[in-house]
Amino acid sequence: MADPDGAVLQPPFLLRLRLAITRRMHPRHKRRILQKIDILARLARLSRGKETTTPGQTPASPVIDPRAGDLVRVRSIEEIEATLCVRRQLKGCTFMEEMKPYCGTMRKILRPVTNAVDERDHKLKKIKGIVLLEDAICEGTRRFGPCDRCCYYFWRIEWLQKP
């Protein structure tokens, strides 16, 4: 990345430091640290009396049985955020900022996901409860900029409901 004068722009120091540490850390150690951070954050919310539900708790309405071609409604952003932990995840699946425009819309299920390569440790993993939606494709993030991969977003079935 360069500015108009041709000088190379560096990412902020804290971002560079975090990337340097996490790139050298084994995924198992990273998961343990993140679990401890989640526990501390939850204790802090409980002490302030702000937490009424457990993060990761599924919505009250029934969870769908996903099949390719089914029409579903993506829940509202408030309903989805109620299911997320501090790291904006539900059962390990991150809800990205760029997924917000799809909230409240009707979409067709492209297909359920059963296997995926985890790019953190380069292993093929079995997955349950995640689907791909038609035309819900990532075009990059605010944090990292545009991307040409055109990956489908992973949607937890708890974030969807039958119309």
d(CA 12, CA 142): 15
Question: For 86-113, what is each residue's pLDDT tens digit?
Answer: 788 898 899 999 999 999 999 999 999 9
> Which pLDDT does position 107 carry in this prediction?
95
Tell me the HSE value of 71 on the side-chain side, using a 13 A CA sphere: 3
d(CA 157, CA 91): 11
| Contacts with 13 (C-beta within 8 Å, 6 or more apart), sequence order | none
The segments of the chain whose pLDDT lies below 70 read 1-11, 50-63
Q: Are 102 and 156 in contact (CB under 8 A)?
A: no
| Contacts with 19 (C-beta within 8 Å, 6 or more apart), sequence order | 11
Length of the chain counted residue by residue: 163
> Which pLDDT does position 24 carry in this prediction?
76
Q: Are 140 and 128 in contact (CB under 8 A)?
A: no
Task: Report the percentage of the chain scoring pLDDT > 70.
Answer: 85
pTM of the model: 0.69
> Which pLDDT does position 163 carry in this prediction?
84
Q: In the chain, where are the structural domains located?
A: 1-52, 59-161
